[in-house]
C-alpha cells in the first residue's frame, strides 16, 4: 500500500493560484502539493477541488479542441462516404445486391412448329426427359448414386465425371446426369422417388422431323450457338449452350420460331443454394410457320430425283401468286449429321460428292437456261415486231454466220418453220435468226422483264442472281466488245447465259400468267401461340409486262405443242388424260462443255461431269395456268427424257389431289363445282381452239379473261 501512496506523491500538478507565470513551463519547477495528494493526505473531509491548475490544463484544452476538429473531420468523411454509397450509388448497389441473391434458371421455350400448306406437321417438338441433380446439400450420397446408376444402367464413373465437370458452377444450376432418357426409365426413376431425394426429371423440348430430310435445304437445321453468333446475338435472348437455327428457315425465321424463354427465379444464399422460390415467368412458345410447300408433292419430287440418283432441282410454283409448292434440291442433306456439329469426315465427304449435296441447287445452282430461253427470244421477237407468228424461217440443220457454222440440234434440219413449230420442236436455226434480228441488248431487256439476272428475293440463303449477258455487261466484265456471233448462242440460252432453276420457274410463271412477275414465297402464314395470325402471305408483284398478253399466249401455244404435238420435245410431261389437263412446256439441254473428244462418244460413255444438264419447264393447265413446274437434272443429258417425266409425275399428282379434294368438297360447296364446270368448258374450248389454228377471237377472249383474273 505504501508504494502506491508514493506514486501518488510524485504526481505533479501545477498550481496557478500562487504564481503568475509567463510561461507554463517555468513555474512548474516548484512543486506544490497536488490536489491528489491533498485529497489523499488531507482526507475526504476537506477536498480542495476548487483549486485547478489552469495553465497546464489550458494546453490540454487546446489539444482537446484540435482532437475535436480531427473527430469532426473524420466523421464528416464517414458521413460523406455513407451518402455516396447509400444515396448517390444506392441504386447501383441495390441492383448488385439483387443480382447477388436472385438467380434464375432459364426454361427453354418450345420452338414454333413448321407445317405444310395443308396443315401437315413437318417439324414439331417433343418433350425430352433429362435427369438432373439439384445440389441442395451439395453432397454426393453413395446411396442415391448407386440407385441411379442402376436405374439409368450407366457407369458410376460417367455420372461422377459429369458431376465433376459442374463442380465450379454456382450451386443453383442443376447438374445434368442423363439426357433424353426413354419413357420407361422416367417411370423407373419416378417410382424410386424416395431413394433419390435430389434427383429430378427435367423436361426439355426437342425438334422432331416428321418427314426426315424432306425439304432439308429449305427447312435447315439447328445447332448449339457458336461464338460468332453469340457475339452478334442479343445477349438478353441467347446465352452459351442455347440452340439456334443454323440453316434454312430455322435460321432465317429464328425470330419467329424461337419464342421467349421462361425463368424460374429463386433466392440463393452466398453459397448459391436455393433459399426460397420467387415469382418466375412461363416460357412463351415460338410462332408456328405454315409453309406454302405441299409435303406430298415435295416427297414425290424428291423421290423421283432420288430414284435415279440424280442431282438437280425441282420447283413447283403457283403461276398467279408466287407460292412455291415444291422446292427440292437433290440430293437431300442428311440433317442428323449436322446436329451437334458436323464431323470433319462427313463434311469432306459432302464436299467431294460429285452430286454436291451442300449446294441448294434451286437458288445456288447457276446453269445456262438452254432451250427454255427460246421462249424469251420468241416473245422478244414478237413484242419488238421483228417477227410475226407466221414469219417462216428455213432450217437446213445449221446456219453460217461469220466464218463459223452454228448447228441446229436436228442435223437434218426442220425445213420451213414458223414460231409455233419452232418452239414445239425447239428449232435452233429459227431462234438464231430471231436473235440476230433483235441483237443481244434487246434480248437482255426482255430477259430481265422475266426476272432473269436478278435475285428473286425468296427466303433462302446464298441466292445467286445468274447472268443476263449484254454488250454493256461484257464490256464491264471482260472489257471486250460484243461479237454478233455470241448473240446466236445467247438466243438459244447458251453462251454467257446463267439462270437458277427458280428463275426459270419464275420466267415460266410470267409466260403462264400473262405478264406478271411475282416474288416467290415459301411461308404462307405465321401463327402465334394464341392462334392469331401474325402475318400471312400476300402475292407480291415485282413487275408487270403490260399489253403483251397476246404475244405471251402465242409463246404458250408453242409450249403446249411442245408437250402435246407428235414431234414435241416434252411429251413425257403429259398428264393422265382422265383429268383433261393439258400441259405446256419447254425442254432444254444445257451444254456443260463442248469437247471434241466427247463429240462422237455415245452419251452413256461421256464422263458424268461433262454430260449436259437437262431442263424442263412447264405450266398447266393450258388455259388459265395454275402452276408451273421447273425441273433441272444436272448432267441429265436430255430435258425430254430426264427432266420432263419428273414434271409429269408432279403434275399428275397435283391434279389428282386437286380433283379428289374437289370431289370430296362437292356436296358442301356447290360454287366450287360450278367453277369446275366452267374450267372444263374452257378446256374443251381450248382443245377445240388448238384444233383450228387461227380462231383469234377465242384467243382474245381467253386472254382478256386471264388478264382480268389477275387483276382481281
Chain residues binding other proteins by CB under 8 A are 4, 7-8, 10-13, 25-26, 28-29, 34-36, 39-40, 44-47, 49-50, 52-53, 56-57, 59-61, 63-65, 67-68, 71, 74-75, 78-79, 81-83, 85-87, 89-94, 96-98, 100-101, 267-271, 275
Which among 52, 56, 61, 62 is positioned nearest to 24, based on CA atoms? 56
Angstrom distance (rounded) from CA 214 to CA 210? 9
Residue 265 CB, shortest distance to other proteins, in Å, is 14
**Between 85 and 593, CB nearer to other proteins:** 85
**Between 29 and 232, CB nearer to other proteins:** 29
Which among 629, 105, 603, 601 is positioned nearest to 324, based on CA atoms? 629
Residue 62 CB, shortest distance to other proteins, in Å, is 9
Residue 162 CB, shortest distance to other proteins, in Å, is 25
Angstrom distance (rounded) from CA 133 to CA 231? 31
Angstrom distance (rounded) from CA 645 to CA 312? 14
Residue 169 CB, shortest distance to other proteins, in Å, is 14
**Between 4 and 183, CB nearer to other proteins:** 4
**Between 14 and 263, CB nearer to other proteins:** 14
**Between 49 and 307, CB nearer to other proteins:** 49
Q: Which residues contact 128 (CB under 8 A, 6 or more apart)?
A: 179, 180, 203, 204, 205, 206
Angstrom distance (rounded) from CA 168 to CA 175? 11
**Between 56 and 626, CB nearer to other proteins:** 56
Residue 262 CB, shortest distance to other proteins, in Å, is 24
In eight-state DSSP terms, residue 565 is S
Residue 105 CB, shortest distance to other proteins, in Å, is 18
Which among 541, 476, 469, 533 is positioned nearest to 510, based on CA atoms? 541
**Between 75 and 394, CB nearer to other proteins:** 75
**Between 40 and 685, CB nearer to other proteins:** 40
CB 158 within 8 A of CB 178: no
Bridge partners (DSSP) listed for residue 614: 589, 633
**Between 271 and 351, CB nearer to other proteins:** 271
Angstrom distance (rounded) from CA 622 to CA 604? 35
What's the gap between Cα 51 and its chain centre? 99
CB 683 within 8 A of CB 583: no
Strand ranges (E), 582-638:
584-590, 613-620, 627-633
In eight-state DSSP terms, residue 325 is E
Residue 32 CB, shortest distance to other proteins, in Å, is 11
Residue 7 CB, shortest distance to other proteins, in Å, is 6
Q: Which residues contact 621 (CB under 8 A, 6 or more apart)?
A: 581, 582, 583, 679, 683, 686
Angstrom distance (rounded) from CA 58 to CA 67? 14
**Between 77 and 601, CB nearer to other proteins:** 77
Which among 662, 657, 695 is positioned nearest to 679, based on CA atoms? 662
Residue 212 CB, shortest distance to other proteins, in Å, is 50
Residue 163 CB, shortest distance to other proteins, in Å, is 22
**Between 93 and 394, CB nearer to other proteins:** 93
Angstrom distance (rounded) from CA 100 to CA 103? 8
Helix, strand and coil percent figures for the chain, each rounded to 5: 45, 20, 35
**Between 12 and 185, CB nearer to other proteins:** 12
Reported as type and span, the H/E element at residue 202 is: strand 199-209
| C-alpha cell at position 235 | 445477349
Residue 50 CB, shortest distance to other proteins, in Å, is 5
Q: What is the Cβ-side half-sphere exposure of residue 227, based on CA atoms within 13 angstroms? A: 0
Q: What is the Cβ-side half-sphere exposure of residue 266, based on CA atoms within 13 angstroms? A: 17
Residue 119 CB, shortest distance to other proteins, in Å, is 51
Amino acid at each position: 500500500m505504501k508504494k502506491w501512496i508514493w506514486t501518488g506523491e510524485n504526481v505533479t500538478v501545477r498550481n496557478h493560484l500562487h504564481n503568475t507565470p509567463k510561461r507554463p513551463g517555468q513555474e512548474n519547477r516548484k512543486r506544490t502539493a497536488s490536489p491528489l495528494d491533498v485529497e489523499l493526505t488531507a482526507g475526504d473531509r476537506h477536498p480542495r477541488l476548487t483549486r485547478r491548475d489552469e495553465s497546464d490544463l489550458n494546453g490540454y484544452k487546446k489539444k482537446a479542441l484540435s482532437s475535436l476538429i480531427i473527430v469532426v473531420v473524420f466523421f464528416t468523411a464517414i458521413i460523406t462516404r455513407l451518402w455516396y454509397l447509400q444515396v448517390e450509388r444506392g441504386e447501383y448497389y441495390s441492383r448488385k445486391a439483387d443480382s447477388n441473391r436472385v438467380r434464375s434458371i432459364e426454361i427453354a421455350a418450345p420452338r414454333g412448329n413448321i407445317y405444310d400448306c395443308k396443315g401437315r406437321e413437318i417439324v414439331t417438338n417433343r418433350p425430352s426427359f433429362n435427369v438432373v441433380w439439384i445440389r441442395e446439400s451439395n453432397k454426393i450420397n453413395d446411396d442415391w448414386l448407386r440407385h441411379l446408376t442402376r436405374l439409368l444402367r450407366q457407369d458410376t464413373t460417367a455420372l461422377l465425371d459429369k458431376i465433376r465437370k459442374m463442380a465450379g458452377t454456382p450451386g443453383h444450376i442443376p447438374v445434368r446426369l442423363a439426357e433424353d432418357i426413354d419413357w420407361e426409365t422416367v417411370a423407373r426413376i419416378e417410382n424410386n422417388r424416395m431413394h433419390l431425394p435430389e434427383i429430378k426429371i427435367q423436361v426439355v423440348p426437342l425438334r422432331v422431323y416428321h418427314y426426315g430430310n424432306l425439304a432439308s435445304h429449305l427447312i435447315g437445321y439447328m445447332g448449339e450457338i457458336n461464338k460468332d453468333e453469340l457475339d452478334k446475338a442479343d445477349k438478353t435472348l441467347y446465352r452459351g449452350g442455347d440452340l439456334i437455327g443454323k440453316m434454312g428457315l430455322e435460321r432465317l425465321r429464328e425470330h419467329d420460331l424461337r419464342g421467349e424463354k421462361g425463368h424460374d427465379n429463386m433466392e440463393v444464399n452466398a453459397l448459391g443454394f436455393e433459399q426460397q422460390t420467387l415469382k418466375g415467368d412461363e416460357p412463351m412458345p415460338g410462332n408456328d410457320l405454315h409453309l406454302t410447300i405441299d409435303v406430298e408433292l415435295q416427297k414425290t419430287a424428291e423421290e423421283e430425283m432420288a430414284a435415279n440418283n440424280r442431282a438437280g432441282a425441282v420447283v413447283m410454283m403457283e403461276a398467279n401468286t408466287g407460292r412455291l409448292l415444291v422446292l427440292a434440291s437433290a440430293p437431300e442433306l442428311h440433317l442428323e449429321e449436322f446436329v451437334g456439329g458436323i464431323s470433319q469426315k462427313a463434311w469432306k465427304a459432302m464436299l467431294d460428292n460429285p452430286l454436291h449435296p451442300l449446294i441448294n441447287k434451286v437458288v445456288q445452282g447457276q446453269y445456262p437456261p438452254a432451250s427454255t430461253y427460246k421462249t424469251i427470244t420468241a416473245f422478244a421477237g414478237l413484242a419488238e415486231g421483228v417477227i410475226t407468228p407466221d414469219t417462216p424461217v428455213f432450217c437446213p440443220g445449221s446456219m453460217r454466220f461469220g466464218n463459223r457454222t452454228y448447228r441446229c440440234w436436228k442435223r437434218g434440219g426442220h425445213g420451213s418453220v414458223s414460231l409455233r413449230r419452232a418452239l414445239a420442236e425447239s428449232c435452233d436455226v429459227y431462234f438464231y435468226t430471231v436473235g440476230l434480228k433483235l441483237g443481244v441488248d434487246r434480248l437482255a431487256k426482255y430477259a430481265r422483264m422475266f426476272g432473269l439476272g436478278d435475285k428473286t428475293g425468296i427466303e433462302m440463303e446464298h441466292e445467286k442472281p445468274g447472268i443476263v449477258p449484254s454488250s454493256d455487261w461484257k464490256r464491264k466484265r471482260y472489257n471486250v466488245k460484243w461479237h454478233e456471233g455470241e448473240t446466236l448462242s445467247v438466243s438459244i440460252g447458251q453462251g454467257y447465259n446463267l439462270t437458277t432453276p427458280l428463275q426459270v420457274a419464275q420466267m415460266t410463271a410470267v409466260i403462264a400468267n400473262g405478264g406478271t412477275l411475282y416474288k416467290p414465297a415459301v411461308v404462307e402464314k405465321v401463327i402465334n401461340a394464341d392462334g392469331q395470325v401474325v402475318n400471312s402471305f400476300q402475292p407480291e408483284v415485282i413487275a408487270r409486262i403490260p399489253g403483251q398478253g397476246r404475244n405471251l399466249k402465242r409463246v404458250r401455244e408453242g409450249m403446249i405443242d411442245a408437250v402435246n404435238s407428235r414431234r414435241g420435245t416434252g411429251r413425257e410431261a403429259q398428264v393422265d388424260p382422265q383429268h383433261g389437263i393439258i400441259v405446256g412446256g419447254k425442254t432444254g439441254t444445257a451444254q456443260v462443255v463442248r469437247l471434241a473428244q466427247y463429240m462422237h462418244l455415245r452419251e452413256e460413255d461421256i464422263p458424268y461431269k461433262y454430260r449436259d444438264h437437262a431442263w424442263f419447264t412447264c405450266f398447266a393447265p393450258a388455259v388459265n395456268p395454275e402452276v408451273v413446274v421447273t425441273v433441272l437434272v444436272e448432267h441429265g443429258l436430255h430435258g425430254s427424257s430426264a427432266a420432263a417425266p419428273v414434271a409429269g409425275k408432279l403434275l399428275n399428282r397435283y391434279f389428282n389431289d386437286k380433283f379428289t379434294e374437289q370431289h370430296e368438297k362437292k356436296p358442301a360447296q356447290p360454287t366450287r363445282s360450278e367453277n369446275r364446270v366452267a374450267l372444263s368448258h374452257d378446256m374443251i374450248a381450248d382443245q377445240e381452239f388448238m384444233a383450228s389454228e387461227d380462231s383469234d377471237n377465242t384467243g382474245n377472249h381467253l386472254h382478256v379473261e386471264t388478264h382480268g383474273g389477275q387483276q382481281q
